[in-house]
Amino acid sequence: MSGRPTVEELEKLVEQLQQHNSILSTSLEQSNTELQALQEDHNLLKNRYQKDIEELKKAQITLNKEKEFSQKLLDCLPGIFYLYTYPQLRLIYWNKNHERLLGFTADEIRNRHIMDWHVPGVEPIVQQAVDLVMEKGENVLESPLLHKNGEYVPFLMTGISFDTPEQRYLMGFGIDITDRKRIEYALKESESLFRLLAENSTDIIASHNANGEFVYVSPSCKTLLGYEPKELIGRSAFEFIHPDDKVKIEKSWQNVVEKPAITTFTFRILSKDGPYVWFEAVLKSIFDEATGKLKEIHASSRDITKRKLNEDKLEESETKLTTLFNAMTEMVVIHEVIFDENGNPKDYKIIDCNKAYTAITGIEKKDAIGRLGSEVYQSDIPPYLDEFSKVALTGEAFEYTTYYAPMDKHFIISVVSPGPNKFATITTDITAVHEIQEIIQEKNKELENYLYVASHDLRTPLVNIHGFSQRFQKHIEAISGCIEDCTINSDKSELVKKITSEEIPRTLNFILSNVSKMDGLINGLLQISRTGRIKMTIKKLDMGQLIKSIVSGMNFQLAEIDAKVNIEELPDCYGDNMQLNQMFTNIITNAIKYHDKGRPLVINISGKVRYNKVIYSIHDNGVGIAPRHQKRIWDVFYRVDSSSQITGEGLGLSIAKRIIDKHKGKIWVESEEGVGSTFFIELLNTEFSE
């Protein structure tokens, strides 16, 4: 088209415009309506979004809280928590304990590779464990983890896999098992120690379950009972126990099964080859600390056959002893010393006594046992406290003879110590013996008097016989001279000559030699009777001095036979100087007289104190005395060899014995023929009267 538009064209255009306009208005109206609708939608949406945003904000807060809660929860866990990316195995999340237990800071931990925590060399094991987690979803691994201080701490870890669409993760939790490991180690140690002890024990060591079945038996059961350990495993110990002992043992067993306990008992157990053997067992039940359930029962059993035998013997001998104790006519009392605050004995308590005690003292057993000596005997200080306590404290036995005035009785009391601070008195009532002894002493005195008188009186006729025999001899000599001068029938003269010059002198010689023998005997008897009659002066004697003076008086004889005398330090004693001098002289003289010519004589003289007594011994290496003579050498006029060239009358030892008797002592000999003799002399080292 070209040039100016026509009206028509314009009208058409206006019409078109109007049409457009109306379309536009309509659409504008529509748009407005739509816009309004849109505005409304917009408002609606805006409201909704605002709500969503608020909710989102709330959700964000909740999420943060939950995250904080989870973190706190993880931090509260007693062990370590970790989250590794997989397969990179880099640590991206952990809890506080991870830092604390292994000593590394958060920066040092972040992104650390899983293998960095493990002991070099175990990587394949760790990798395998990790792969298993990722494959199966979970797995457990026990492995030490590196601590910052360079040490490795044992951990038990539980791993699980966790996947998101973008990434796989390995997370888990580990606990420090140092203590458990230590206990396990100690347990292993003690188990191996137990094994070592059990395997080498001479006792039978066994473990049982609650039913008594053997779980373990040590090899010693083969040697002690004949069973191989494996034949007992699974069998009940009760099968082997003697029927009579079962009830007792079942009771003990029940005790240890119910609660942790230890019990000991003796029983008989069947050995493989038949007989029952006595055993003593100690049972100990082991309970699981965690569950409180019975784990096992340990038994340690020892063969006590020998002990049982000894016990039986002991029981038997105890019964015998008790019977003896009560049947004894001697009173036996066992005491215990009671001390004052300074430790000095102040009294003694009666612990036990026998029947004879009541019979002799009249004190009932029940009134004596458990009571003090001072109460029982009603004296401030109980009788013989010093002497008795000395025995209890030193253990040295002691024996003495005493007169107990309150009972008007004579006793021999032997005191021994059966244990520390204890003493037993064995008391024999010798009142009757004492009375007899007194009578004997009286009679002895009488006899000695008779002996003295008789021997004294016998001497006068003997002196007469001797004198008249000599005179008779002279008369015969005179008659013989006369006969020479007279002329007598030759037959008769020969006979008279023979009688006067041969037979009468021979008879006279015989009479005179018997007179001298009888004189010797009477002298001996006189000596003996004198020994008995001499009044003694008892005093303390320096025995060393006394013996030395005796020996020096014999120096000549000793030198003649080249003899040696050794005198040890001698304790003193009480006695009569003259008489003991005589006694020791007799003994030492005999040692010299009866020395063995084949060896130089050596005499050893020694002495020792035994509580209130002294024992001297005189040992020689002489000819010795055969056992059959040893009892008789103390008899008057007894000589071992009556035809011996050695001078003697068989009086020395009988005089020695009398002297010792008078000193309330003892004398005895121990001798071996061809070897030598030892004479023992026991004297008192306390004052005494005749």
Asked if 550 touches ligand ADP (CB under 6 A), the answer is: no
Q: State the greatest distance between any 2 C-alpha atoms of the chain, in Å, as a whole number.
A: 261
If the CB atoms of residues 240 and 679 are measured against ligand ADP, the closer one turns out to be 679
Q: How far is the CB of 626 from ligand ADP (least distance, A)?
A: 9
If the CB atoms of residues 303 and 620 are measured against ligand ADP, the closer one turns out to be 620
Asked if 653 touches ligand ADP (CB under 6 A), the answer is: yes
| Choices 123-131, 185-193, 331-339, 584-592 (CB under 6 A): range interacting with ligand ADP | 584-592
Q: How far is the CB of 616 from ligand ADP (least distance, A)?
A: 15
| Count of Cβ atoms closer than 10 Å to residue 402 Cβ | 15
* 583, containing H or E segment: helix 577-593
Asked if 219 touches ligand ADP (CB under 6 A), the answer is: no
- The closest of 248, 230, 238, 233 to 211, measured between CA atoms, is 238
Residues 592-611 that bind ligand ADP (CB under 6 A): 593-594
| Choices 328-336, 397-405, 413-421, 621-629 (CB under 6 A): range interacting with ligand ADP | 621-629
Asked if 639 touches ligand ADP (CB under 6 A), the answer is: yes
Whether 579 contacts 662, CB under 8 Å: yes
In total, the chain counts a number of residues equal to 690
Q: Which amino acid is at 309?
A: L
Options 650, 661, 668, 678; binder of ligand ADP; rule CB under 6 A: 650
Options 134, 204, 625, 660; binder of ligand ADP; rule CB under 6 A: 625
Options 269, 332, 633, 681; binder of ligand ADP; rule CB under 6 A: 633
* 190, containing H or E segment: helix 178-200
Options 90, 147, 648, 678; binder of ligand ADP; rule CB under 6 A: 648
Asked if 677 touches ligand ADP (CB under 6 A), the answer is: yes
* 294, containing H or E segment: strand 294-303
Tell me the H-state helices in 404-498.
Answer: 431-485, 490-498
Asked if 640 touches ligand ADP (CB under 6 A), the answer is: yes
**CB-based contacts of 232-241 (< 8 A; 24+ apart in sequence):** 232/206, 236/211, 236/212, 237/206, 237/208, 237/212, 237/213, 237/299, 238/212, 240/269, 240/270, 241/267, 241/268, 241/269, 241/270
Whether 607 contacts 617, CB under 8 Å: yes
If the CB atoms of residues 133 and 554 are measured against ligand ADP, the closer one turns out to be 554
Options 129, 277, 550, 651; binder of ligand ADP; rule CB under 6 A: 651
Q: What are phi and psi of 486, to 5 degrees?
A: -80, 150
Q: What are phi and psi of 404, to 5 degrees?
A: -105, 100
**CB-based contacts of 54-63 (< 8 A; 24+ apart in sequence):** none
- The closest of 685, 522, 673, 516 to 609, measured between CA atoms, is 685
If the CB atoms of residues 297 and 451 are measured against ligand ADP, the closer one turns out to be 451
Size of the site for ligand ADP (CB under 6 A): 22
Options 79, 172, 607, 622; binder of ligand ADP; rule CB under 6 A: 622
**Residue 191: is it exposed, middle or buried by C-beta count within 10 angstroms (0-12/13-18/19+)?**
exposed
Residues 65-94 that bind ligand ADP (CB under 6 A): none
Asked if 229 touches ligand ADP (CB under 6 A), the answer is: no
| Choices 197-205, 454-462, 573-581, 587-595 (CB under 6 A): range interacting with ligand ADP | 587-595
If the CB atoms of residues 305 and 678 are measured against ligand ADP, the closer one turns out to be 678
| Choices 101-109, 190-198, 564-572, 586-594 (CB under 6 A): range interacting with ligand ADP | 586-594
Tell me the H-state helices in 201-338.
Answer: 220-225, 229-232, 243-258, 305-327
If the CB atoms of residues 110 and 599 are measured against ligand ADP, the closer one turns out to be 599
Asked if 623 touches ligand ADP (CB under 6 A), the answer is: yes
Options 620, 663, 682, 685; binder of ligand ADP; rule CB under 6 A: 620
Asked if 558 touches ligand ADP (CB under 6 A), the answer is: no
Whether 84 contacts 170, CB under 8 Å: yes
**How far is CA 23 from each of CA 13, 37, 137, 370, rounded to the nearest angstrom?**
15, 20, 70, 143
Q: How far is the CB of 679 from ligand ADP (least distance, A)?
A: 7
Binding site for ligand ADP (CB under 6 A): 586, 590-591, 593-594, 620, 622-625, 633, 638-640, 648-654, 677
